[in-house]
A = this chain, B = another copy of it.
Amino acid sequence: MREPMDVEDLFYILGNPTRRLLLKFLSMGPHYPFQLARLLNISQKAVMDHLRVLEERGLVVKLGCERSSIGPERTYYGVNSFLMVDFSVAPSLYELKVVEAKREKSGYEAVSGTFEEIIYKLRGLAGELEKIGEELRELERRRVKALDAKQRINVQISELINLLDLDYIEKIILNLLVIKGGARLEEISEELDLRERHVERYLERLKELGLVEEQDGFYSIVS
Protein backbone atom coordinates (compact mmCIF):
# COMPACT_ATOMS: atom_id res chain seq x y z
CA MET A 1 0.00 0.00 0.00
CA ARG A 2 2.86 2.34 -0.60
CA GLU A 3 2.63 5.65 -2.33
CA PRO A 4 5.61 6.99 -4.20
CA MET A 5 7.81 8.99 -1.85
CA ASP A 6 7.38 12.23 -3.73
CA VAL A 7 3.61 12.14 -3.26
CA GLU A 8 3.96 12.03 0.53
CA ASP A 9 6.41 14.84 0.20
CA LEU A 10 3.99 16.85 -1.90
CA PHE A 11 1.10 16.45 0.52
CA TYR A 12 3.34 17.56 3.34
CA ILE A 13 4.19 20.69 1.40
CA LEU A 14 0.62 21.50 0.40
CA GLY A 15 -0.57 20.75 3.92
CA ASN A 16 0.77 24.09 5.10
CA PRO A 17 -1.58 27.06 4.48
CA THR A 18 1.24 29.63 4.35
CA ARG A 19 3.02 27.63 1.65
CA ARG A 20 -0.21 27.35 -0.34
CA LEU A 21 -0.67 31.11 -0.05
CA LEU A 22 2.93 31.65 -1.23
CA LEU A 23 2.26 29.38 -4.20
CA LYS A 24 -0.91 31.35 -4.95
CA PHE A 25 0.96 34.67 -5.00
CA LEU A 26 3.88 33.25 -6.95
CA SER A 27 1.52 31.73 -9.50
CA MET A 28 0.29 35.28 -10.14
CA GLY A 29 3.79 36.41 -11.07
CA PRO A 30 7.36 36.84 -9.80
CA HIS A 31 7.72 38.21 -6.28
CA TYR A 32 10.70 38.88 -4.01
CA PRO A 33 10.83 37.75 -0.37
CA PHE A 34 10.32 41.16 1.28
CA GLN A 35 7.21 41.70 -0.83
CA LEU A 36 5.84 38.27 0.12
CA ALA A 37 6.58 38.86 3.79
CA ARG A 38 4.53 42.08 3.66
CA LEU A 39 1.68 40.46 1.70
CA LEU A 40 1.42 37.53 4.10
CA ASN A 41 2.21 39.54 7.18
CA ILE A 42 4.95 37.14 8.30
CA SER A 43 8.71 37.53 8.79
CA GLN A 44 11.14 37.43 5.87
CA LYS A 45 12.87 34.55 7.63
CA ALA A 46 9.63 32.53 7.56
CA VAL A 47 9.15 33.37 3.86
CA MET A 48 12.70 32.22 3.08
CA ASP A 49 12.19 28.95 4.98
CA HIS A 50 9.01 28.16 3.06
CA LEU A 51 10.54 29.21 -0.27
CA ARG A 52 13.46 26.85 0.33
CA VAL A 53 11.04 23.93 0.86
CA LEU A 54 9.08 24.85 -2.27
CA GLU A 55 12.31 25.30 -4.25
CA GLU A 56 13.77 21.96 -3.15
CA ARG A 57 10.56 20.31 -4.34
CA GLY A 58 10.87 22.04 -7.72
CA LEU A 59 7.61 23.94 -7.34
CA VAL A 60 9.27 27.33 -7.16
CA VAL A 61 12.42 28.73 -8.82
CA LYS A 62 14.64 31.75 -8.51
CA LEU A 63 13.93 33.79 -11.63
CA GLY A 64 16.73 36.32 -11.26
CA CYS A 65 18.15 39.19 -9.24
CA GLU A 66 17.56 42.87 -9.52
CA ARG A 67 20.11 45.32 -8.16
CA SER A 68 18.75 48.51 -6.77
CA SER A 69 20.66 51.70 -5.97
CA ILE A 70 18.36 52.49 -3.07
CA GLY A 71 17.98 49.12 -1.39
CA PRO A 72 19.31 45.61 -1.13
CA GLU A 73 19.39 43.21 -4.05
CA ARG A 74 16.05 41.58 -4.80
CA THR A 75 15.80 37.91 -5.76
CA TYR A 76 12.63 37.16 -7.66
CA TYR A 77 10.87 33.82 -7.22
CA GLY A 78 8.18 32.28 -9.38
CA VAL A 79 6.25 29.08 -10.07
CA ASN A 80 8.01 26.98 -12.67
CA SER A 81 6.02 23.80 -13.02
CA PHE A 82 2.61 22.56 -13.95
CA LEU A 83 1.36 20.49 -11.05
CA MET A 84 -1.99 18.73 -10.77
CA VAL A 85 -3.02 16.67 -7.75
CA ASP A 86 -6.29 14.73 -7.77
CA PHE A 87 -7.35 12.91 -4.65
CA SER A 88 -10.61 10.98 -4.21
CA VAL A 89 -11.83 8.80 -1.39
CA ALA A 90 -15.14 7.04 -0.75
CA PRO A 91 -16.25 3.59 0.39
CA SER A 92 -14.36 1.21 -1.94
CA LEU A 93 -12.62 4.09 -3.71
CA TYR A 94 -9.18 5.57 -3.09
CA GLU A 95 -7.48 7.45 -5.90
CA LEU A 96 -4.41 9.61 -5.83
CA LYS A 97 -3.10 11.05 -9.06
CA VAL A 98 -0.26 13.50 -9.51
CA VAL A 99 0.62 15.07 -12.84
CA GLU A 100 3.74 17.19 -12.84
CA ALA A 101 5.55 18.85 -15.72
CA LYS A 102 8.40 21.29 -15.91
CA ARG A 103 7.47 24.32 -17.98
CA GLU A 104 9.74 25.29 -20.82
CA LYS A 105 11.03 28.83 -20.81
CA SER A 106 8.18 30.97 -22.06
CA GLY A 107 8.01 30.75 -25.83
CA TYR A 108 5.48 33.57 -25.90
CA GLU A 109 5.94 36.48 -28.22
CA ALA A 110 6.69 39.73 -26.47
CA VAL A 111 3.34 41.42 -26.07
CA SER A 112 2.76 45.03 -26.97
CA GLY A 113 -0.05 47.31 -28.09
CA THR A 114 -1.76 50.61 -27.59
CA PHE A 115 -4.10 51.11 -24.67
CA GLU A 116 -7.12 50.28 -26.88
CA GLU A 117 -5.43 47.22 -28.36
CA ILE A 118 -4.59 45.91 -24.90
CA ILE A 119 -8.19 46.26 -23.76
CA TYR A 120 -9.43 44.63 -26.95
CA LYS A 121 -7.06 41.68 -26.49
CA LEU A 122 -7.97 41.33 -22.82
CA ARG A 123 -11.65 41.11 -23.70
CA GLY A 124 -10.94 38.45 -26.31
CA LEU A 125 -8.90 36.40 -23.84
CA ALA A 126 -11.65 36.74 -21.22
CA GLY A 127 -14.07 35.24 -23.75
CA GLU A 128 -11.73 32.31 -24.39
CA LEU A 129 -11.36 31.76 -20.65
CA GLU A 130 -15.12 31.60 -20.28
CA LYS A 131 -15.35 28.83 -22.87
CA ILE A 132 -12.54 26.88 -21.20
CA GLY A 133 -14.27 27.37 -17.85
CA GLU A 134 -17.44 25.82 -19.26
CA GLU A 135 -15.49 22.86 -20.60
CA LEU A 136 -13.72 22.33 -17.27
CA ARG A 137 -17.04 22.37 -15.42
CA GLU A 138 -18.49 19.85 -17.87
CA LEU A 139 -15.41 17.61 -17.51
CA GLU A 140 -15.74 17.80 -13.75
CA ARG A 141 -19.42 16.83 -13.83
CA ARG A 142 -18.52 13.82 -15.97
CA ARG A 143 -15.62 12.93 -13.71
CA VAL A 144 -17.77 13.01 -10.56
CA LYS A 145 -20.33 10.83 -12.36
CA ALA A 146 -17.69 8.32 -13.52
CA LEU A 147 -16.07 8.18 -10.07
CA ASP A 148 -19.47 7.63 -8.55
CA ALA A 149 -20.19 4.74 -10.93
CA LYS A 150 -16.75 3.30 -10.22
CA GLN A 151 -17.31 3.55 -6.49
CA ARG A 152 -20.66 1.73 -6.75
CA ILE A 153 -19.10 -1.07 -8.77
CA ASN A 154 -16.21 -1.35 -6.31
CA VAL A 155 -18.72 -1.71 -3.46
CA GLN A 156 -20.51 -4.50 -5.33
CA ILE A 157 -17.20 -6.25 -5.96
CA SER A 158 -16.32 -6.08 -2.25
CA GLU A 159 -19.72 -7.42 -1.27
CA LEU A 160 -19.48 -10.31 -3.73
CA ILE A 161 -15.99 -11.19 -2.55
CA ASN A 162 -17.20 -11.08 1.06
CA LEU A 163 -19.59 -13.94 0.21
CA LEU A 164 -16.62 -16.18 -0.54
CA ASP A 165 -15.01 -18.15 2.26
CA LEU A 166 -11.65 -16.38 2.18
CA ASP A 167 -9.40 -14.78 4.76
CA TYR A 168 -8.67 -11.06 4.90
CA ILE A 169 -5.51 -11.01 2.74
CA GLU A 170 -6.98 -13.41 0.16
CA LYS A 171 -9.99 -11.10 -0.20
CA ILE A 172 -7.75 -8.06 -0.68
CA ILE A 173 -5.65 -9.85 -3.30
CA LEU A 174 -8.71 -11.08 -5.19
CA ASN A 175 -10.22 -7.58 -5.02
CA LEU A 176 -7.04 -6.12 -6.45
CA LEU A 177 -7.03 -8.66 -9.31
CA VAL A 178 -10.67 -7.91 -10.19
CA ILE A 179 -10.21 -4.13 -10.01
CA LYS A 180 -6.97 -4.06 -11.98
CA GLY A 181 -8.09 -6.68 -14.48
CA GLY A 182 -5.20 -8.86 -13.33
CA ALA A 183 -1.65 -8.25 -12.13
CA ARG A 184 1.83 -9.76 -11.78
CA LEU A 185 3.21 -11.10 -8.52
CA GLU A 186 5.61 -8.16 -8.05
CA GLU A 187 2.84 -5.65 -8.64
CA ILE A 188 0.55 -7.23 -6.03
CA SER A 189 3.41 -7.53 -3.60
CA GLU A 190 4.34 -3.88 -3.95
CA GLU A 191 0.77 -2.57 -3.84
CA LEU A 192 -0.02 -4.52 -0.66
CA ASP A 193 3.41 -4.09 0.91
CA LEU A 194 3.66 -7.87 1.36
CA ARG A 195 6.60 -10.17 0.62
CA GLU A 196 6.41 -11.90 -2.74
CA ARG A 197 6.68 -15.38 -1.26
CA HIS A 198 3.68 -14.63 1.00
CA VAL A 199 1.65 -13.29 -1.90
CA GLU A 200 2.59 -16.35 -3.93
CA ARG A 201 1.22 -18.64 -1.24
CA TYR A 202 -2.10 -16.75 -1.19
CA LEU A 203 -2.26 -16.83 -4.99
CA GLU A 204 -1.70 -20.59 -4.94
CA ARG A 205 -4.64 -21.01 -2.61
CA LEU A 206 -6.84 -18.76 -4.78
CA LYS A 207 -5.85 -20.88 -7.78
CA GLU A 208 -6.68 -24.11 -5.92
CA LEU A 209 -10.08 -22.67 -5.02
CA GLY A 210 -10.72 -22.11 -8.73
CA LEU A 211 -10.91 -18.31 -8.37
CA VAL A 212 -7.68 -17.24 -10.00
CA GLU A 213 -5.74 -18.38 -13.05
CA GLU A 214 -2.19 -17.65 -14.13
CA GLN A 215 -0.67 -17.22 -17.56
CA ASP A 216 3.01 -16.36 -18.01
CA GLY A 217 3.17 -14.92 -14.49
CA PHE A 218 0.05 -12.81 -14.97
CA TYR A 219 -2.70 -13.55 -12.45
CA SER A 220 -6.38 -12.81 -13.07
CA ILE A 221 -9.84 -13.99 -12.07
CA VAL A 222 -10.77 -17.23 -13.86
CA SER A 223 -12.30 -16.75 -17.27
Interface of A toward B, CB cutoff 8 Å = 1, 3, 8, 11-12, 14-17, 20-21, 23-25, 27-29, 59, 78-94, 96-97, 99, 103, 106, 108, 111-113, 115, 118-119, 121-123, 125-126, 128-130, 132-133, 135-136, 139-140, 142-144, 146-164, 172, 175, 178-179, 181, 210-211, 221-223
Contact = CB atoms under 8 A, between A and B. Distances in A.
Contacts of A129: 150, 153-154, 157, 178-179, 181
B94 A89 contact: no
Contacts of A17: 3, 8, 11
B128 A153 contact: yes
A16 B9 CA distance: 10
A22 to B, nearest CB: 10
Nearest to A2: B21
In the assembly, how many copies of this chain are there?
2
Given A146-B139, A160-B111, A86 B83 contact: no
A76 B94 CA distance: 19
Contact of A118 (B59, B87, B122, B163): B163
B223 A82 contact: no
Contact of A15 (B12, B23, B94, B118): B12
B155 A84 contact: no
A194 to B, nearest CB: 11
B119 A103 contact: no
Given A1-B25, A132-B149, A90 B79 contact: yes
Nearest to A41: B193
25 contacts: A3-B17, A11-B15, A11-B20, A20-B96, A27-B94, A28-B172, A28-B175, A29-B91, A29-B92, A82-B147, A85-B86, A86-B140, A91-B103, A99-B140, A118-B161, A119-B221, A123-B221, A125-B153, A125-B178, A126-B157, A126-B181, A129-B181, A136-B143, A136-B147, A139-B143
